[in-house]
Structure 1
C-alpha cells in the first residue's frame, strides 16, 4: 500500500474545465438577463416560441424589451450547446475523465431540457407565477451544478482506477479533503447553499406575483414579502459563518478567499434588498443587481461545497507490490 499522489489534469480535462467555467458565467448572465426581462416586463415581448415574431432575429420589431427576451433565449441556446458538448465528451472520452462526470453532465443536460420546456411554458401560458418561479430556481440549480462540475474538473486528476478506499468511518469526518478542509466543511457549505436556494425560491415567488408592488400599493400579498425578509436571516447567518470558521487558527487558507467572497456577496445582497424596498422597486438596475448577486452567491457556495466534499482515497493499491 502506498500513499496516493495527485496527478495533473489531462489536456481534455483542462479543456472541459475551461468550458465549464464559461458555462458558469453564461448561466449567471442568464439569470441576470432573466431578471432584467421580468423587471422591464419583457417576458412576452416575443409572442411566439422558440422564434421571435417568426424569425431568428426580429429586426423590424426590435426594441429594448424585444432585445432582452431575444438575448435571453440566445444565451439559453448557447448554454444548451455547451452542456451538450460537455455531456458528449464525458461519454465518448469517459476513460480519461473523472467517473462522476457523465452522471453530472447527464443531470445538467436533463435540467437544461427542463429549463427550455419551462421557458416555453412561460410564454405560451402567459407568465404563470408557479412556472416563472420554477424557471428561476431551475436556472439557479444549473448554476450550482455547473460550478461544482468546474471545481471537480479544475482539481488534480482522479487517482488511478485501482485506488482502494474502504467505507467511510466516523474518524474520516475529520480527515482533510483534497483542498485541506475537514469533511464537515462541505456539509456546512451545502447547508448554506440550500438556504440561499430556498431564499431565492421565496424571492422568485414574491417577484412573479409582483407581491412587493402590491403590498406597497394596496396592502395585498404582504405575506410573501414578510416571508422573504424573514428567510434572509438564517441564510445570511449560514453564509457568514463560512469566512468566520475559515479564519479559525490552524485552518488551511485555501478556502478563505472564496469564503470571504461569499460573505461579501451576502452583505451586498442584503444591502441591495434593502435598497430595492426603500426605492419601492422603482430602480430596475438595483432589482436586477439583487438577482444577479444571488446567482453569483449560489455559484460561490456550490464551489465551496464541491471543494469541501472532495476527499482523496485513504490508499492506492500498487500492482508492483505483487511482483
Structure 2
C-alpha cells in the first residue's frame, strides 16, 4: 500500500518517497522468500540470519521514511554527530546479525557443551565493545553539545537507556545459556529498538546538518 500510494500521489510527495517505498516493498518480498526458505530448509542458520538481517533493514527503512517526513528545523550544532551515530548504527546492526547467528547455531550450547562454535559466540561477545563504545560516544557528545535540538537530545537519552538494558539482558541471556525464551526475545527486541533509535538520530542529525548548510548558501 505504501509503495502504490506513494507512486499514485508522487506529484504531491517528495521525489525520493516512491523510490524508497519501492525499496521497502522489495525487502518485504525478499523477506517472504527467506521466510519460506527458513521453513523448507529447516531453520538453516545462514538463511535464518539473512532473514533477521532483512527484517532489521526493512525496519530501519521505515524509520528513515518516518524521520524524513517529520517536520524538523535544525539548529546547526550537530557537528560530527551524524557520522558518529551512523557508525553506531553499523556496529549495532552487525552485532544484531552476530546475535542471530549465535542463536540459530546454538553457539552457546555448542561451546560450553562440546567446545565447538566458540569463535561464533566469542565474536558476539567481542562485538559488544564497538557497538557500546560508539553508542556511548553518541550519548556523551550529544549531552555535551550546546543548543542541540530537543529531538536529538531525547533520542540520545533513549539510546543510553536502551544500551544499558541491552547489556543487562545480554548478560542474563548468556548466563542462562539462552534457556529462557522470553529473555532471548527481549534481548533481540531491545537490540532492534536501539538500532531504530540510532537510525532515527542519524537521519535527524543529517537533516540538521544539511538544512544549516543550505541556509548558509
What is the rounded CA distance, in whole Å, between the counterparts of 2:149 and 2:8 in structure 1?
37
Partner of 1:314: 214
Task: Mark the CA change 1:93 to 1:183 in structure 2 (over 3 Å): closer, same or farther.
Answer: farther
What is the rounded CA distance, in whole Å, between the counterparts of 1:242 and 1:92 in structure 2?
39
* SS in structure 1 at match of 2:163: helix
What is the rounded CA distance, in whole Å, between the counterparts of 2:172 and 2:19 in structure 1?
41
Partner of 1:191: 87
What is the rounded CA distance, in whole Å, between the counterparts of 1:179 and 1:242 in structure 2?
17
* SS in structure 2 at match of 1:314: helix
Task: Report if aligned partners of 2:75, 2:149 keep a CA contact under 8 Å in 1.
Answer: no
Gaps in structure 2 of 5+ consecutive residues: none
The answer to whether residue 86 in structure 2 is matched with residue 86 in structure 1 is no
* SS in structure 1 at match of 2:178: coil
Gaps in structure 1 of 5+ consecutive residues: 1-84, 157-176, 316-323
Task: Report if aligned partners of 2:75, 2:147 keep a CA contact under 8 Å in 1.
Answer: no
Aligned with residue 100 of structure 1, among 16, 38, 54:
16
Question: Offset at 1:251?
Answer: 3.3
What is the rounded CA distance, in whole Å, between the counterparts of 1:102 and 1:305 in structure 2?
21
Give the RMSD, CA atoms, in angstroms: 1.8
Partner of 1:113: 29
Partner of 1:204: 100
Aligned pairs for 1:1-323 within 5 A: 85-155=1-71, 178=74, 180-182=76-78, 184-254=80-150, 255-310=152-207, 311-312=210-211, 314=214
What is the rounded CA distance, in whole Å, between the counterparts of 1:248 and 1:300 in structure 2?
19
Aligned length: 212
What is the rounded CA distance, in whole Å, between the counterparts of 1:289 and 1:216 in structure 2?
23
* SS in structure 1 at match of 2:179: coil
Task: Report if aligned partners of 1:111, 1:138 keep a CA contact under 8 Å in 2.
Answer: yes
Task: Report if aligned partners of 1:181, 1:308 keep a CA contact under 8 Å in 2.
Answer: no
* SS in structure 1 at match of 2:125: helix
Task: Mark the CA change 1:260 to 1:228 in structure 2 (over 3 Å): closer, same or farther.
Answer: same
Which structure's CA Rg is the greater one?
1
* SS in structure 2 at match of 1:281: coil
* SS in structure 1 at match of 2:94: helix
What is the rounded CA distance, in whole Å, between the counterparts of 1:288 and 1:106 in structure 2?
29
What is the rounded CA distance, in whole Å, between the counterparts of 1:90 and 1:268 in structure 2?
37
Task: Report if aligned partners of 2:49, 2:100 keep a CA contact under 8 Å in 1.
Answer: yes
What is the rounded CA distance, in whole Å, between the counterparts of 1:132 and 1:280 in structure 2?
19
What is the rounded CA distance, in whole Å, between the counterparts of 1:103 and 1:178 in structure 2?
25
What is the rounded CA distance, in whole Å, between the counterparts of 1:92 and 1:186 in structure 2?
33
Task: Mark the CA change 1:127 to 1:241 in structure 2 (over 3 Å): closer, same or farther.
Answer: same
After TM superposition, the score normalised by the length of structure 2 is: 0.92
Task: Mark the CA change 1:190 to 1:247 in structure 2 (over 3 Å): closer, same or farther.
Answer: same
